[in-house]
Amino acid sequence: MTLIDPTAWPLGAWVHRQAENAPDRTALVFEGSKLGYAAFAERISRLAGGLTEVLGLERGDRIAYLGRNHPDLLTLLFAAARLGLMVVPLNWRLAPPEREAILKDASPAALVVEAMFADHVAALAAEPVPWRPIALDFSKDGWLSIDDLLVDVARPDVVGMADDPLLIVYTSGTTGQAKGAVLSQGALRWNAANSVDMHDLTAADRILTALPLFHVGGLNIQTLPALAVGAEVLLEARFDPTDLLAQIANHKPTLTVLVPTMMKALIEHPDFEKTDLSSLRQITTGSSIVPTALIEGFHARGIPVTQ
């Protein structure tokens, strides 16, 4: 049995339900490593324990994340959903002053940081700040690491409710300062239900995620819905057309979301015509006007494009 209706269970229970149904099925593939649903569920439970036992976070607290796509951002999101916490994924492409403004506005209790941003965050942390720095993929004196938060405690009860805010995504700020858009657990659950229906998404699918997870397009259109139904997610740290074509050829994904600039980069890549794209049953696109030539470029390879 697979979880077909994401609205039937609290969001914080999705991965655990799939772990009960198919513990050995692959949930995530990242940089050549696979994480099964059972192992993923255990990591979520252990991190949820650490967020409460080590950091002392309470319902309604916020945790920010500064880094490229990584499995532990998803681990953090599901752990937060179990506890009624909120996650604030920062746009790592922003200039440092813009990120600082968002951190000041969001007032997180903790900030999970990828190594490439450690120096910037360390400089900020030299001044009094309300958040505690957490190292994602490195170690630093005086900082906790993400592994320090993986404690062996009993699995916390699923307390996250549909009305609980879970995700704060900041707008682009093109006409002013970026504003935090708050998404509830219920909003993400119903979005997943719509996506499952739109994509005919099942546990047999493989989702290729190259859009950034700090954006709702990368996180919510296919990635979370895929995990709700027990599908496999091939997670790219960031978009690179050469790597993406290699992933398609080697791992045979069935679905992906590409914005027009990504479609253009793939079509213009010298390996586009010779790469086996036959596993893709659909490409989803949007976020801006999609030139007809880009749609026709994928149609010529026999791939439907959905907006």
Q: Which pLDDT tens digit goes with each residue over 245-272?
A: 999 999 999 999 999 999 999 999 999 9
User: Residue 190: enclosing H or E segment and its boundaries?
Assistant: helix 185-199
Residue 107, pLDDT above cutoff 60: yes
pLDDT of residue 8: 74
pLDDT of residue 227: 97
Average pLDDT over residues 106-125: 94
Q: Which pLDDT tens digit goes with each residue over 202-239?
A: 999 999 999 999 999 999 999 999 999 999 999 999 99
Contact between residue 106 and residue 88 where contact means Cβ atoms under 8 Å apart: yes
CA 278 – CA 280 distance, rounded (Å): 5
Average pLDDT over residues 3-20: 83
pLDDT of residue 153: 75
Q: Which pLDDT tens digit goes with each residue over 230-244?
A: 999 999 999 999 999
Q: Which residues pair with 233 in a beta bridge?
A: 28, 207
